[in-house]
Amino acid sequence: MATLTAEISVVLDPRAEDADELRGNGPDVGPLRGKTIGLKTDEFWFAWDWVAEEWAAALRADGAEVVIWRERMPQGVATPLSVADFDQFTSQVDAVVTGLANCGSCTWVAVRAGMAALEREFPTVFVATTHFERLSRVLSEEGGWSDIRMAILPYPLEGKPEDEIRQIARQAYPSLLVSMGAVV
């Protein structure tokens, strides 16, 4: 006669962190005057370069210093974050604005840098186009960060005339300040 044995199955939760372990959105930047704001760009989007230039000018006008770091993407692909380059960048700044989340791989590049800045306790804002806001939030949540600070730009952004993109950047600047928790 055959013997039946009971098997116990365990279902594992595939999420990176439990909801109880998620961290918030990092500290506010506070007063801008005298702070150095780091804008992290990459080699993917001309539009993001123009936005960063406009925001850098506005931040300087509001009393901040600005460092723009262009993360190199060998052969135009998302690669592991260069820790040495990132260390050098963050050694010069008090807060980080990382972008542009505007496609799958570039969203990962921007979010990865933002999470690294948050791990170092920098006030951090993630910049995404409307189409990639949700992916940015999902990636950061899976990395343990809930309710990240975001500045949202319209989609599509790339391909618009430069003067139109610069106007969009100037119009979005006040929302960047709110996202940063900045005081002018």
pLDDT at residue 77, rounded to an integer: 54
Show Cβ contacts of residue 60 under 8 Å, excluding neighbours closer than 6 positions. 66
Beta bridge partners of 121: none
pLDDT in tens, 69-98: 998 876 655 555 678 889 999 999 999 999
pLDDT at residue 11, rounded to an integer: 59
Mean pLDDT, rounded, of the chain:
89
pLDDT in tens, 90-138: 999 999 999 999 999 889 989 999 999 999 999 999 999 999 999 999 9
Residue 154 confidence (pLDDT) above 70 = yes
Show Cβ contacts of residue 36 under 8 Å, excluding neighbours closer than 6 positions. 64, 65, 66, 67, 92, 93, 94, 95
Q: Which residue has the higher pLDDT, 50 or 14?
A: 50
Considering the segment(s) 30-183 as one domain, its CATH architecture is 3-Layer(aba) Sandwich (3.40)
pLDDT in tens, 15-56: 554 545 678 899 999 999 999 999 999 888 999 999 999 999
Show Cβ contacts of residue 53 under 8 Å, excluding neighbours closer than 6 positions. 166, 169
129 close to 156: Cβ distance less than 8 angstroms? yes
Structure tokens at 123: 């006030």
93 by Cβ neighbours in 10 Å (0-12 / 13-18 / 19+) ranks as: buried
pLDDT at residue 15, rounded to an integer: 53
